[in-house]
């Protein structure tokens, strides 16, 4: 019969041991074996400095500047410090708490000392009553159901999530700076080409005006060439406006006023990088947003364990050493003469269903975060597929468009020669001009689209980030 109490005392310890660390979350999703449109050319996986593959020192400088001055990134770092402090707070109850206390009191009797002289030591000559006491106490809650360890593990997972959130913000800022910088350079190149096209149109216009003055061309031809020249002229301020707007966006990403920003790079100096996409399953450890969702789901398991433990009894232990005296010298000789031991068992009896409702709330939150985790994975796979499709599509379009551009240049040169010789009408020259102008503009747009697709692919693949390299804290207790 004496074994039963011992068995009852051992039961909480056994249950505590069975609790264990938080498990690795499982999305339950089947990952595809390969991408639908993997890159054909040999390439390498993105590294942490992926933007350097564009070959621009100016872009490298701007990204370092953005990382140092971005308000979004600074806010993410502040959230990370909050999570780190919270993890320390939540981990404190796992260890005993030790407190020290020392008090000195002095009271002054008013009126007669009769009745107090023996009890408090007061006299007619000295009405002061002094008392000194000390206390050194320790308290500890036995973690019978691993509530404190689960709370600490959940806080550590939220710290991991915060670190991965910082990495995701950093990746977004970096990709946005690269994307906007490419757009600024492309718009400048479009403006430069537009000026060259305007020069060509004005030269043809001078020829038409000479022929019209000599009676060799109709007024209609003159009006048509003037219309084409005017159309080409207003393209320049339109492109300049778009470039200024993109520059303002870039300055905002850098956290500076646009007046402080000077862009000197050239679009033609950029190179298109080769990118290896890896395997779809690798996204789980390469994308910080997916890893963040995973850590939040793991933390939810800790919350469920804490809510479950709240339904069960708790055992608190307290111990103290202390003493008291009417004179400080007496207390100094023996400051801690008394030993105090206390144990308290607390169990929920009636709380109107609050604790069970909190457990149901924790379970529902866990289910919500599971779906968030799954959505992050599906969105990540879609991001890579879209970027790969865009990259392959722009490559094919650019190959065909460059052939079109070369033919347009030859056609414009031949049309101008034949018009000068009087072999063709201006209509043929007008059509050749429009074809050339459109082909030149389209070529720049496709080059920009290919470069931006590379940025999107770098970002979709996680930008060289990998789980376990961001200062995480693990999944243990």
User: How would you write 77-114 as a 3-class SS string?
Assistant: HHHHHHHHHHHHHHHHHHCCEEEEEEEEEEEECCCCCC
Residue 58 lies in a domain: yes
pLDDT tops 90 at residue 416: no
Best CA proximity match to 293, nearest among 148, 384, 430, 164: 164
Q: Which residue has the tokens 């030859």?
A: 410
Say how far apart CA 155 and CA 141 lie, in whole Å.
19
Give strand pairing partners of 344: 316
- Asked if the model's pLDDT at residue 115 lies above 60, the reply is no
With cut-offs at 50, 70 and 90, classify the pLDDT of residue 330: low
In a domain? residue 191: yes
* Residues spanned by the domain of 287: 20-96+144-312+354-460
User: What would the two tokens of residue 451 be?
Assistant: 């470069």
* Residue given tokens 């718009």 in the structure block: 187
146: left (phi over 0), alpha (psi -120 to 50) or beta: left
Distance CA 456, CA 443 (A): 20
- How many whole angstroms separate alpha carbon 380 and alpha carbon 284? 9
Q: CA nearest 277: which of 392, 126, 437, 137?
A: 392
Name residues whose C-beta falls within 8 Å of residue 90's C-beta, 6 or more positions apart in sequence: 151, 152, 154, 155
CATH number at residue 358: 1.20.1600.10
* 343 domain residue, yes or no: no
pLDDT at residue 411 tops 80 = yes
Closest CA to 238 of 193, 197, 195, 191: 191
Looking at the domain assignment, is residue 347 inside a domain? Answer: no
How many separate domains does the chain show? Answer: 1
Residue ranges of E strands in 326-477: 338-346
- What's the N-to-C CA distance of the chain in angstroms? 36
d(CA 336, CA 323): 5
Is residue 182 predicted with pLDDT exceeding 60? yes
- Annotate 135-145 with b (16+ C-beta within 10 A) or e (fewer): bbbeebbebbb
How much is the average pLDDT of 424-449? 84
Determine the average pLDDT of the residues in 339-364: 90
- pLDDT of 163 reads 94
Stretch 213-233: mean pLDDT:
85
pLDDT value at position 54?
95
Of 244, 298, 283, the residue nearest 457 (C-alpha): 283
Q: What pLDDT digit, counting tens, does each position of 74-109 carry? A: 999 999 999 999 888 888 888 888 888 888 777 666
- Judge whether 133 and 332 are in contact, CB under 8 Å: no
Strands (E) across 282-364 are located at 314-325, 338-346
- Domain assignment present for residue 121? The answer is no
Q: Edge-to-edge strands of the sheet including 128-142? A: 97-108, 128-142, 314-325, 338-346
Residue 342 lies in a domain: no
CA–CA separation, 160 vs 90, rounded Å? 14
Q: Is residue 186 part of a domain?
A: yes
Give residue 111's pLDDT: 58
Mean pLDDT lowest among 64-68, 146-150, 320-324: 320-324
* Distance, CA of 238 to CA of 191 (rounded, Å): 9
pLDDT at 126: 60
- Indicate the pLDDT class of residue 46, thresholds 50, 70 and 90: confident
- Of the pLDDT bands very low, low, confident and very high (cuts 50, 70, 90), residue 7 is very low
Instruction: Please report the pLDDT score of residue 75 as a whole number.
Output: 92
> Considering the domain boundaries, does residue 447 fall inside one?
yes
In a 3-state reduction of DSSP, which class is residue 142? strand
Average pLDDT, the chain: 84
Which structure tokens are listed for 450? 């290919």
Please give the full DSSP string across 403-429, using - where no structure is assigned. HHHHHHHHHHHHHHHHHHHTSS-HHHH
């Amino acid at each position: 019969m004496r074994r039963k109490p011992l068995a009852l005392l051992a039961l909480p310890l056994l249950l505590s041991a069975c609790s264990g660390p938080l498990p690795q979350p499982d999305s339950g999703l089947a990952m595809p074996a390969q991408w639908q449109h993997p890159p054909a050319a040999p390439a390498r996986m993105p590294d942490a400095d992926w933007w350097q593959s564009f070959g621009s020192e100016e872009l490298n400088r701007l990204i370092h500047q953005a990382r140092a001055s971005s308000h979004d990134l600074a806010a993410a770092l502040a959230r990370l410090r909050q999570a780190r402090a919270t993890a320390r707070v939540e981990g404190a109850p796992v260890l005993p708490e030790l407190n020290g206390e020392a008090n000195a009191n002095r009271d002054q009797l008013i009126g007669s000392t009769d009745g107090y002289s023996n009890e408090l030591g007061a006299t007619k000559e000295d009405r002061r009553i002094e008392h000194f006491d000390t206390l050194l106490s320790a308290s500890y809650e036995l973690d019978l159901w691993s509530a404190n360890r689960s709370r600490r593990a959940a806080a550590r997972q939220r710290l991991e999530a915060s670190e991965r959130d910082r990495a995701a913000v950093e990746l977004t800022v970096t990709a946005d700076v690269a994307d906007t910088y490419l757009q600024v350079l492309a718009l400048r190149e479009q403006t430069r080409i537009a000026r060259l096209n305007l020069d060509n149109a004005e030269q043809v216009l001078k020829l038409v005006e000479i022929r019209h003055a000599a009676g060799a061309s109709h007024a209609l031809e003159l009006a048509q060439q003037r219309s084409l020249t005017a159309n080409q002229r207003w393209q320049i301020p339109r492109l300049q406006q778009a470039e200024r707007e993109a520059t303002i966006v870039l300055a905002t990403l850098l956290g500076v006023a646009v007046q402080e920003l000077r862009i000197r790079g050239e679009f033609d100096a950029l190179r298109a990088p080769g990118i290896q996409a890896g395997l779809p399953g690798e996204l789980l450890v390469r994308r910080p947003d997916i890893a963040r969702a995973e850590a939040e789901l793991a933390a939810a398991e800790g919350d469920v364990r804490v809510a479950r433990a709240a339904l069960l009894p708790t055992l608190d232990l307290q111990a103290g050493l202390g003493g008291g005296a009417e004179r400080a010298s007496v207390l100094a000789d023996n400051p801690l003469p008394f030993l105090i031991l206390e144990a308290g068992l607390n169990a929920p009896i009636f709380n109107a269903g609050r604790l069970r409702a909190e457990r149901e709330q924790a379970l529902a939150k866990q289910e919500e975060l599971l779906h968030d985790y799954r959505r992050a994975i599906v969105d990540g796979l879609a991001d890579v597929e879209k970027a790969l499709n865009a990259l392959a599509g722009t490559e094919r379009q650019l190959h065909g468009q460059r052939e079109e551009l070369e033919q347009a240049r030859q056609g414009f040169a031949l049309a101008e020669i034949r018009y000068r010789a009087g072999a063709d009408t201006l209509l043929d020259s007008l059509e050749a001009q429009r074809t050339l102008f459109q082909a030149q503009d389209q070529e720049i747009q496709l080059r920009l689209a290919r470069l931006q697709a590379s940025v999107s692919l770098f970002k979709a693949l996680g930008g060289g980030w990998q789980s376990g390299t961001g200062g995480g804290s693990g999944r243990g207790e």
